[in-house]
């Protein structure tokens, strides 16, 4: 474990501060409300199953490095295809998805309270693989944007987590070395291993209690609730 004092705290966004799992059902509700004719006569459960499957497929191609258009249009086209609906409505669905997503976003429990507590003592940063326009919209809709001193998005950085350079760029923006920073994220591979390789202290937000395989590198800290971050850093 690093012995240097923490000088800044950096966060992942999706499923660390922004609750993607709780947001997706609200996005679907919004799409169905705004485009009722497109889905008329279809079973609600069938629609939901197709929506969540296409979303997982979209995440897969996103993680493979697909462009914004490829992810957004590809996800919507897959959604319609699974429901045997005409593909020429894919752009319409994608536009509505993009409009709804930040508007109905849900924060992870305790996220705003944590940021409000930490911002008085530490510079705060964000490092995200998400598309910059959508991630910025999420932060603004949740009222989180004003808490951060630096935002680092993969498309602008030229590197995606877990590449260490995206974390190093974020530390540099704060005028710090990586070893002075604590990084908090929910993905062991992207967040813990990436930040560790960059030289940062790591805090794994692991609310599901996932167990690491024997021999895995352990994070400096592991927490099940975001409130625990404040107890870790404010005691220093």
pLDDT tens for residues 166-207?
999 999 999 999 999 999 999 999 999 999 999 999 999 999
- Quote the CA–CA distance of 33 and 213 in Å, as a whole number: 44
Question: CA 131, 221, 5, 145 torsion: positive or negative?
Answer: positive
- Quote the CA–CA distance of 224 and 80 in Å, as a whole number: 37
The CATH fold of domain 8-19+107-233 = Rossmann fold (3.40.50)
- Quote the CA–CA distance of 170 and 184 in Å, as a whole number: 13
**Residue 164 · residue 188 · CB < 8 Å:** no
Residue 168's φ and ψ, nearest 5 degrees, are -65, -35
Architecture of 20-103 per CATH? Orthogonal Bundle (1.10)
Which pLDDT belongs to residue 233?
A: 87
Query: CA end-to-end span of the chain, whole Å?
Result: 15
Q: Which strand (E) or helix (H) includes residue 172?
A: helix 164-173
Beta-carbon contacts of residue 62 (< 8 Å; ≥ 6 apart) = 71, 129
Which pLDDT belongs to residue 4?
A: 73
Among the listed residues 21, 22, 12, the one whose alpha carbon sits nearest the alpha carbon of residue 229? 12
Give percent of the chain with pLDDT exceeding 90.
Answer: 87
pLDDT tens for residues 42-54?
999 999 999 999 9
**Residue 83 · residue 54 · CB < 8 Å:** no
The predicted model gives 214-234 an average pLDDT of 93
- Quote the CA–CA distance of 201 and 162 in Å, as a whole number: 14
User: For the chain, which residues make up each domain, given as ranges?
Assistant: 8-19+107-233, 20-103
What average pLDDT is seen over the chain? 94
Which pLDDT belongs to residue 3?
A: 54
Q: Report whether pLDDT(235) > 80.
A: no
**Residue 189 · residue 63 · CB < 8 Å:** no
Give percent of the chain with pLDDT exceeding 70.
Answer: 98
The predicted model gives 51-58 an average pLDDT of 95
Which pLDDT belongs to residue 130?
A: 84
Which pLDDT belongs to residue 1?
A: 44
pLDDT tens for residues 74-88?
999 999 999 999 989
Residue 71 CB burial class (10 angstroms; 0-12, 13-18, ≥19): buried
- Quote the CA–CA distance of 136 and 28 in Å, as a whole number: 21
Q: For 160-191, b where at least 16 C-beta lie within 10 A, e where not — what string?
A: bbbbbebbbbbbebbebebebbbbbbbbbebb
pLDDT tens for residues 1-30?
455 789 999 999 999 999 999 999 999 999
Which pLDDT belongs to residue 68?
A: 85
Q: Report whether pLDDT(236) > 80.
A: no
Report CA-CA distances (Å) from 158 to 64, 88, 130, 154. 15, 33, 12, 6
- Quote the CA–CA distance of 51 and 173 in Å, as a whole number: 38
- Tokens 């602008």, located at residue: 156
pLDDT tens for residues 147-172?
999 999 998 898 999 999 999 999 99
Q: Specify the pTM.
A: 0.92
């Amino acid at each position: 474990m690093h012995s240097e004092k923490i000088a800044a705290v950096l966060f992942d966004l999706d499923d660390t501060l922004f609750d993607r799992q709780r947001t997706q059902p609200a996005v679907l509700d919004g799409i169905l409300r705004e485009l009722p004719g497109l889905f008329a006569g279809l079973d609600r459960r069938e629609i939901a199953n197709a929506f969540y499957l296409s979303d997982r497929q979209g995440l897969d191609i996103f993680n493979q490095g697909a462009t914004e258009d490829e992810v957004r249009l590809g996800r919507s086209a897959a959604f319609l295809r699974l429901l045997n609906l005409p593909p020429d409505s894919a752009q319409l669905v994608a536009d509505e998805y993009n409009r709804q997503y930040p508007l109905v976003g849900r924060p992870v429990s305790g996220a705003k309270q944590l940021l409000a507590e930490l911002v008085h003592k530490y510079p705060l940063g964000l490092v995200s693989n998400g598309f910059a326009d959508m991630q910025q919209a999420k932060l603004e809709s949740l009222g989180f944007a004003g808490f951060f001193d630096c935002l680092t998005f993969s498309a602008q950085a030229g590197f995606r987590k877990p590449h260490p350079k995206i974390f190093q760029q974020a530390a540099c923006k704060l005028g710090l070395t990586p070893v002075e920073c604590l990084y908090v994220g929910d993905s062991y591979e992207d967040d813990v291993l990436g930040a560790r390789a960059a030289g940062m202290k790591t805090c794994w937000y692991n609310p599901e209690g996932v167990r690491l395989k024997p021999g895995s590198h352990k994070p400096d800290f592991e927490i099940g609730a975001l409130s625990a971050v404040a107890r870790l850093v404010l005691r220093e």
